[in-house]
Structure 1
């Protein structure tokens, strides 16, 4: 995602959102009286808009049935995005005789993991550092973590023949129009060279030959980024889980009771877990952890219909590529495997982690303007889908990895790198629970934790102001 945690200066986080059940006669799903003091009601449930383009243009799959009644297992994972799928898979491999329950509030591929721009990025990118790399020891760990996530996904796509994920080693172009953006590219090239990472600058007619647009002046090309159809990828990952993983979709957790065992309540029953793993990013706050430390930022994308052969010929360029902006509030752009153009820009702060009503329609004109600036030849090509998707940001850019309380663990706060970072941290957490510890595990456990945020209403005022001014200053890069 283009937005950076350095650009949300006022804060990150979502308020606690966990409300203790009230009254003296709270009942469980089976009608049994329950001490309300120990039961946490989940204050917000995932609710994304209905028009995610990646989901609707990917393979139609039969979702797994919701859970009806009660279940129990040694391991329960909440959230079937990249992190949860990785954690559940690795737990099942580490403990082949144990049942692993994976529970998802919506359908797999419909939520956040299927709404990003589909970049599996390897290189670190710290815009707070002069060379966009900063501390080299930390940068090398970030690089190793990203590459670990890339490698896991690449191997799974090959192993399970997830061809509709359209995984391609296409690299990425970080592109700029204005002088300030070009300065970013020059600085970043120097930082990458310090790390020994391949990159080179492309400009002028050569860049036009790559992208099919004369809009950009210069781009920094890094060859080791992988591009995917994200919703198709997570659908394929879900359908290739080990046999000892039991996946329940459309099963939102409505309350939780922590004890020696954790009891998760849903619409028709309970799930009892010996050990619980939270892989639900910003919604982890509603389970009683990292309250006031997470920042649900939504970004928005539009996807055209497939270009005709004549339209493709009119722009030329390569038939598959991805562009990220030099300005963090600029436009991300992709040409897809089925010859669509993706435009992604505009941001909103959604403190409850849920989609804002009518926001896709609100941002569509901005997408239209950005698209026609870059491809005036395609001015008559309509968008078929416009949607939003959430990021779990934190003010200091730190995620959480490890134990949240006894028998409860989490990998939360991916800061816009959920594809690779979520896959890596979910896998590493499952390995840690199996007693398998490695250098990256130690790095994550020792890393800073998400910082505190200002209280409301200061939080919303500050974040919204920062988002508005950042987008305004992006100018023609948007």
Structure 2
């Protein structure tokens, strides 16, 4: 392995969720029927479902870092149901395809809600819906087009004009918002920690066990500094780091996004802000700012992008982008100018040029659900679950759709890739204007 996961330390979701005792790292020699690499949302879902489908088999789940600290605990906490095809004029495109995407996302939501309820996982999961908000003319046009697409799909939405938005989200910054009711909001690190601590009894989780070398053959041998795991069947659920295992190389782009979380608002600050006590806003412009008011009365600001080809964070970007967060925060909440950020962190997305993920067999006895394209909560949950069902011999329309995907397409070679991606990111953020 030429690069191992190593996220920055100050992830607000991780530090404000409950403290748990990590499971011990793997040591020595282990023989396993099934091994899942990556204990994020996809890997946890795959391990859970494999354990249910194969109750007599021991499932090994390996995580390079501590559960809840990595990528799955660093997103904005939106479990979104609706399709959003940015390549289509109305952001819906082909209705049949959109309906299947909708079914896939809602299946992921259903699995998630059921697992959270059955295991009493405290992750502040609420069916709050989401606001997609705009201030620039380009953003307003996106909202209008998307509403037409949702009407075509038969999905509920509501346009809220800027004068009415303070009653909802406590700010008059935006000119218009499109509210859709189907999104679940949650605390992502708390979710992942809870999922890990309620795995079936035939799953053995090893944390802080980065795999440093892998050998393929009739069995797969996973080596690390203190031992090795020999497995009959390997499931890769480690997103962009799947490329480090020799698969989909040059097809997944590790794009980093940056977030800051304030200290809790005082009662006086909450009163001056107004609006609802819990909500989430996504930007009309892809490169704009995501904002949340959390269950513990903090404000989350998420924006700014970087392309880190090795999948590892850079301190220089954290230092630079926290200034962007401050500007975005003060534009939206001038009454909260004295509220400081308590945490700032980065988190990676595995993106592909054609917005397709991978699902299925990578090599003999090696399988994967990789590249969630920014929809990790719903897509990770559902693809991990469905991959385990497919490995148990099950088939349905969603599994067939995922298997029929062409997968991520190839990217240009370096240095052209980095030049092109960084130029696109810089241009997109510049064009976002006040949406950022």
TM-score range, shorter chain: over 0.9
CA deviations over 1:275-306 (Å, ceiling 9, x no partner): 00000000000101001001000000000000
- The CA distance in 1 between the partners of 2:319 and 2:51, in whole Å, is 42
Task: From 37, 41, 50, give the equivalent of 2:9.
Answer: 50
Tell me if 1:70 matches 2:46. Answer: no
Structure 1 counterpart of 2:102: 143
Where 2:368 maps in the other structure, the secondary structure is: strand
Tell me if 1:241 matches 2:199. Answer: yes
The gaps in structure 1 that reach 5 residues or longer are 1-41
Where 1:220 maps in the other structure, the secondary structure is: strand
Structure 1 counterpart of 2:111: 152
Tell me if 1:322 matches 2:280. Answer: yes
CA deviations over 1:247-269 (Å, ceiling 9, x no partner): 00000000000010000001111
Structure 2 counterpart of 1:198: 156
Structure 2 counterpart of 1:296: 254
- The CA distance in 1 between the partners of 2:107 and 2:230, in whole Å, is 32
Where 2:275 maps in the other structure, the secondary structure is: coil
Tell me if 1:356 matches 2:314. Answer: yes
Where 1:385 maps in the other structure, the secondary structure is: strand
Whether contact under 8 Å (1:168, 1:227) holds in the other structure is: yes
Structure 2 counterpart of 1:387: 345
Structure 1 counterpart of 2:80: 121
- The CA distance in 1 between the partners of 2:362 and 2:217, in whole Å, is 13
Range that drifts further, 321-330 or 191-200 = 191-200
Tell me if 1:260 matches 2:260. Answer: no
- The CA distance in 2 between the partners of 1:70 and 1:361, in whole Å, is 42
1:357, distance to aligned residue in structure 2 (A): 2.5
Where 2:314 maps in the other structure, the secondary structure is: coil
CA deviations over 1:231-253 (Å, ceiling 9, x no partner): 00000000000000000000000
Task: From 282, 291, 300, give the equivalent of 2:240.
Answer: 282
Structure 2 counterpart of 1:102: 61
Whether contact under 8 Å (1:361, 1:386) holds in the other structure is: no
1:207, distance to aligned residue in structure 2 (A): 1.3
Where 1:65 maps in the other structure, the secondary structure is: coil
The gaps in structure 2 that reach 5 residues or longer are none
1:119, distance to aligned residue in structure 2 (A): 0.1
TM-score scaled to structure 2, two decimals? 0.99
- The CA distance in 1 between the partners of 2:317 and 2:13, in whole Å, is 18
TM-score scaled to structure 1, two decimals? 0.91
- The CA distance in 2 between the partners of 1:358 and 1:385, in whole Å, is 16
- The CA distance in 1 between the partners of 2:22 and 2:292, in whole Å, is 28
CA deviations over 1:81-128 (Å, ceiling 9, x no partner): 000000000000000010000000000000000000000000000111
CA deviations over 1:165-206 (Å, ceiling 9, x no partner): 000000000000011111100100111111111111001332
